[in-house]
Amino acid sequence: MKYLPINNSLFKENRDNFTKLLPNDSVAVFFSNDQQPRNGDQYFPYRQQSDFFYLTGINQENSILVIAPDIKTENLRESLFIVKTNEQIAIWEGHKHTWEEARDISGIQNIFWIDDFDLIFKEIMISTTNVYLNRNEYPKFFPDVKDRNHRLGNKIRKDFPLHTFNRSAPLITKLRVVKSDLEVKLMKRACNITGKAFERVLSYAKPGKYEFEVQAEITHEFLMSRANGHGYEPIIASGKNTCVLHYTENDKICRDGDLLLFDFGAEYANYSADMSRTIPVNGKFTSRQKECYSAVLRVLKKAKKLYIPGNTINIVNSEVNMMMEEEIIKLGLIKTEDVKNQDKDNPLFKKYFMHGTAHFLGLDVHDVGSKEDKFKPGMVLTCEPGLYIPEENIGIRLENDILITENYPVDLMESIPIEIEEIEELMNR
């Protein structure tokens, strides 16, 4: 991996915390992600299943973790299964973990070859009753392709129909949603790399550059800084594309007088940053662009104050909706009288600000956790108000990543340029 080694105490603690949540006489099984086929004999770049990484630190495919804290055989209480390499694999695919390396990375002492999984797993299963299987329980996400936890979990249910089956997802979500100090450190690094890439772009972007050329500058900075790459498909949108929320074509030319909206985040040690910035292609905002930009920036600054223990994503979203509604009225886009008579289920401001303001962030850009979860110290969320006026070719989103603490919100992107004057100054240096 490109990132610097992580102290395995992180993964040990994660496993200990998970184990504490298991009732007596339980076994939990976690599968690594599939290698996703692309075409012909090619795979997409490998990315580990986030829960699997959280509990092991292992980024290798075809791996299984089994946690069975109460079984008599001591060396089967925590087992990691990995592929046994051979000369062919070594020549064609490269190095795979040895037992020692897997031990070192994960802190798990009992490593086995995956070829022995069926035999050893049966031994574990016949001395336990409650089985915990993992699923991707992300709401409103229905992929056609079933992942390994889904497929192999179903196989376990079929092979051992008389056991009791339970969901690991609620337990692991409860843990992942609150970040440890070490995780926050990794996330800060992802944010800093993202900031460096943005500063690089400020001195690069100008009329005539293609969006993908700007993207190349960002990717260059990421890789030079030991990031895995992008935490999600980056949005580099100029002109009217600033109003397309999930624009990722990134193939247009940046034109004089237009805005350029970025939404990108480095993934460092599998932790993602998530940042949005909007800049004038020619280095100088027009007065209307300034007016709109200032409205969004004001809301961002006010909204950040809501990131305190006890609040929820739902609270932040509805408060920010009100702030944006007020700004949208001030910008002359909707009228106070019309707002008074509007359909409450379909408020007028939604024409110009149609997405939520906050989501959890961590190993996944849209990380685990629900909109009703009360904020607690250690949680990291995004704050991302936006304003989209297609008829004026103006789309603006500003997004920073905020750490909840006991006392006050900590903006992990505080030092990344955002004020109009500093952006103009850096672009014209």
Structure tokens at 373: 């979860």
Residue with tokens 């075809």: 62
Report, in Å, the least distance between residue 44 CB and Mn ion: 21
The DSSP-derived string for 363-401 is SSSS-S--TTPPP-TT-EEEE--EEEEGGGTEEEE-BEE
Of the candidates 232, 326, 342, 350, which one interacts with ligand GLY according to CB under 6 A?
232
Question: Residue 138 corresponds to which tokens in the numbers above?
Answer: 């992300």
The entry of ligand GLY, Mn ion, none that residue 232 binds, CB within 5 to 8 Å by partner kind: ligand GLY
- Residue 275 Cβ, how far from ligand GLY at the closest point, in Å? 8
CA distance 388 to 395: 4
Report, in Å, the least distance between residue 246 CB and Mn ion: 10
For residues 57 and 386, which CB has a smaller minimum distance to ligand GLY in the complex? Answer: 386
Question: Cβ of 371: how many Cβ atoms within 10 Å?
Answer: 15
User: Of the listed 34, 359, 364, 401, which one is catalytic?
Assistant: 359
Confirm whether 319 is a catalytic residue.
no
Angle at 18 between CA 12 and CA 23, to 5 degrees: 135
366 is catalytic: yes
Q: Which listed residue (388, 401, 411, 424) is catalytic?
A: 388
Residue 3 DSSP symbol: S
Based on CB atoms, which residue is closest to ligand GLY, 66 or 402? 402
Q: Which of residues 334-363 bind ligand GLY (CB under 6 A)?
A: 359
> Three-state SS for 27?
strand
Work out whether 263 is an interface residue with ligand GLY (CB under 6 A): yes
Residue 51 binds to ligand GLY (criterion: CB under 6 A): no
In the set 399, 401, 411, 424, the catalytic residue is 399
Q: Is 200 helix (H, G, I), strand (E, B) or coil?
A: helix
Residue of the chain from 236, 331, 365, 379 that contacts ligand GLY (CB under 6 A): 365
Annotated active-site residue 359? The verdict is yes
Residues that bind Mn ion (CB under 5 A): 263, 274, 382, 399
Q: Which residues pair with 28 in a beta bridge?
A: 67, 132
Catalytic residue, chosen from 34, 61, 183, 263, is 263
Q: Which residues bind ligand GLY (CB under 6 A)?
A: 232, 263, 274, 359, 365, 384, 399
